[in-house]
């Protein structure tokens, strides 16, 4: 790419010791959504050491760094999430979480270290980029409802200077270490949540005919919800309905008068999203009414579907192909049904979300697992990916 003296990966390799130290610090002291105060302090300390100016918010633990704020070209934002999960770590790492019940089991510690690494190499480059680069350290991605992206947006993270493009990435065990996966269009699903409170008639297990039996009704609802997937929507339009929580009853010979079901509905198509909510409400009430039971339906929308901008994504993919080689910047076959509040940025600004490979043959790994331990060699690729993406977008806009 014109004007660059060398690829970004060698520069990222030089700051790998710092990225490892940052990552270890984040990993040892994980914090849950909207409680990332100490994490924010660590980010601020690192940005200060790198001489990168930053902004914080008194009532919210986000941080916005700014590299090259006086440059006239397009503004690119790079985002990393900050929060951990309520999981007790079982990795055996020497820098494992100090706190039982809290763990960076989704790689957000890696994301923050990569973003700091990108900030380091961008701010020290002998040939600075054409425009400013914002470093968004965002809390509460795992929160699932409002999340952290929307409060960041409301606090002006996409303004002053106004962001033209945005890029994010997430570690992905299914992608081999050393590769980065990209895709155009729908990339991740919208995730909505339901809570169903089934009311029957409690009593002795020997007289269920005096019902309705709330457990039987709830069981019929769990099975009935799956027909929404097989019979309501087009089979070529992906939908996932899952019940993840069932609570009811206190003893084997007592029929409870109430059972609570909680679950998610995941869709890619906005029209299907509306259709599925209406169909779920209708189906659940019909099942309950058919046996004389009652049900209260609570349904809330979570993150919207994440849709990668075609032009921005292809520009970034081309930049990554030049950085790592085309074999290491791979296009994915299709979307996944997980959700991400990075989607809220993409509703407002063209950009793309990438999958950073951390997969190693023979070493099984899963996000949100107590044993998740991504290889730190991915830090070099992650930092170089963000820097190359910012460069590519700014060069492509000229």
Among 31, 36, 172, 303, the active-site one is 303
The range of the structural domain enclosing residue 389 comes to 8-189+305-397
Residues 216-240 have pLDDT tens digits of 999 999 999 999 998 888 888 999 9
Residues 149-175 have pLDDT tens digits of 999 999 999 999 999 999 999 999 999
Q: Does the residue 2 lie in any domain? A: no
Q: Does the residue 67 lie in any domain? A: yes
**CA distance readout (Å), 217 to 221, 229, 232, 290, 365:** 6, 20, 21, 9, 37
345 is catalytic: no
For residue 263, which of 284, 278, 243 has the smallest C-alpha distance? 243
Task: Give me the number of domains the chain comprises.
Answer: 2
* Pair 164, 202 in one domain: no
Residue 303 has pLDDT above 80, yes or no: yes
CATH number at residue 209: 3.30.70.360
Residue 268 has pLDDT above 50, yes or no: yes
* Pair 163, 194 in one domain: no
Question: What's the confidence (pLDDT) of residue 397?
Answer: 64
* Pair 43, 145 in one domain: yes
**Residue 361 pLDDT class (50, 70, 90 cuts):** confident
Are the CB atoms for 134 and 75 separated by under 8 Å? yes
303 is catalytic: yes
* Pair 140, 172 in one domain: yes
* Pair 152, 282 in one domain: no
* Pair 203, 281 in one domain: yes
Which of 276, 301, 326 represents a domain boundary (last residue)?
Answer: 301
* Pair 252, 392 in one domain: no
Among 220, 258, 262, 376, the active-site one is 376
Conformation bin of residue 85: beta by default, left when phi > 0, alpha when psi is -120 to 50: beta
**CA 384 – CA 24 distance, rounded (Å):** 20
* Pair 136, 167 in one domain: yes
Average pLDDT over residues 371-393: 97
Residues 53-74 have pLDDT tens digits of 999 999 899 999 999 999 999 9
Q: Does the residue 14 lie in any domain? A: yes
Q: Does the residue 3 lie in any domain? A: no
Q: Is residue 301 classed exposed, middle or buried when 0-12, 13-18 and 19+ CB atoms within 10 A define those classes?
A: middle
- Angle, alpha carbons 179-183-187 (nearest 5°): 115
Which of 286, 301, 316 represents a domain boundary (last residue)?
Answer: 301
Strand-strand pairing, 254-255 and 203-204: antiparallel
Which of 247, 266, 301 represents a domain boundary (last residue)?
Answer: 301
**CA 12 – CA 389 distance, rounded (Å):** 14
Q: Does the residue 349 lie in any domain? A: yes
**CA 93 – CA 368 distance, rounded (Å):** 16
**Residue 345 pLDDT class (50, 70, 90 cuts):** very high
């Amino acid at each position: 790419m014109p004007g660059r003296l060398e690829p970004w990966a060698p520069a990222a390799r030089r700051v790998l010791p710092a990225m490892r130290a940052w990552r270890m610090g984040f990993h040892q002291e994980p914090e849950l959504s909207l409680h990332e105060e100490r994490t924010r302090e660590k980010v601020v300390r690192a940005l200060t050491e790198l001489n990168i100016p930053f902004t914080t918010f008194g009532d919210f633990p986000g941080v916005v760094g700014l590299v090259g704020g006086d440059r006239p070209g397009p503004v690119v934002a790079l985002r990393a999430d900050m929060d951990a999960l309520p999981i007790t770590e079982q990795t055996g790492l020497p820098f494992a979480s100090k706190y039982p019940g809290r763990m960076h089991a989704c790689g957000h510690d890696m994301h923050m270290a990569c973003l700091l690494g990108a900030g380091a190499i961008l701010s020290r480059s002998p040939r600075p980029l054409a425009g400013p680069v914002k470093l968004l350290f965002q809390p509460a991605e795992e929160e699932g409802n409002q999340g952290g992206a929307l409060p960041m947006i409301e606090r002006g993270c996409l303004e002053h200077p106004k962001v033209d493009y945005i890029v994010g990435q997430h570690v992905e065990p299914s992608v081999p270490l050393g590769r980065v996966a990209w895709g155009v269009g729908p990339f991740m699903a919208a995730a909505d949540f339901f809570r169903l409170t089934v009311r029957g008639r409690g009593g002795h297990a020997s007289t269920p005919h005096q019902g309705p039996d709330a457990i039987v009704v709830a069981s019929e609802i769990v099975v009935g919800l799956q027909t929404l997937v097989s019979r309501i929507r087009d089979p070529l339009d992906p939908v996932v309905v899952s019940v993840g929580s069932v609570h009811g009853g206190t003893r084997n010979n007592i029929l409870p008068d109430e059972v609570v079901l909680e679950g998610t509905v995941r869709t890619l198509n906005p029209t299907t999203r509306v259709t599925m909510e209406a169909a779920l409400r209708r189906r659940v009430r019909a099942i309950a009414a058919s046996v004389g039971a009652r049900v209260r339906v609570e349904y809330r929308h979570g993150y919207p579907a994440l849709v990668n901008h075609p032009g921005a994504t292809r520009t970034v993919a081309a930049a990554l192909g030049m950085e790592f080689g085309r074999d290491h910047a791979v296009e994915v076959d299709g979307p996944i049904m997980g959700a991400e509040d990075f989607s809220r940025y993409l509703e407002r600004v063209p950009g793309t979300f990438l999958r950073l490979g951390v997969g190693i043959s023979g070493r099984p790994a899963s996000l949100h697992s107590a044993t998740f331990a991504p290889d730190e060699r991915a830090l070099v690729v992650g930092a170089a990916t963000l820097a190359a993406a910012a460069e590519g977008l700014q060069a492509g806009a000229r």
